[in-house]
Amino acid sequence: MYSAYILYSEKDKKTYVGYSKDLENRLNLHNSGQVESTKYRRPLRLLYSEIFKTGKEAKEREQWWKSSGGRKELKILLKI
C-alpha cells in the first residue's frame, strides 16, 4: 500500500506534499532532517494522508494536491 500525504511545517507554517510506500518511516526521515527538501522546515506534522493500492495512484494524487485545484481544496479541507 502507498500513501499520498500532506505535512505541515511548524517553522514556516507551510505545507509539503509527498507520497511513500512506508508513511511512518518517511515521516521519521522528514523530521530527522534526512529529506533535503524539508530539513530546514522542521518540525513537521502529518495533516492528512490517503491510501492507494499502487505507487502510480499515490504519485498521481500527490501531483493533484500540488496543482492549483488541489491547493484550493486543501485550503477548504484544512480550513487554512
CATH of region 2-78, choose from 2.10.60.10, 3.90.420.10, 3.40.1440.10, 3.20.20.70 = 3.40.1440.10
Whether residue 78 has pLDDT greater than 80: no
Q: pLDDT tens for residues 6-56?
A: 999 999 999 999 999 999 999 999 999 999 999 999 999 999 999 999 999
pTM: 0.92
For the chain, what are the domain ranges?
2-78
Query: 22-38 burial, b for 16+ CB within 10 Å, e for fewer?
Result: ebeebbeebbeeebeeb
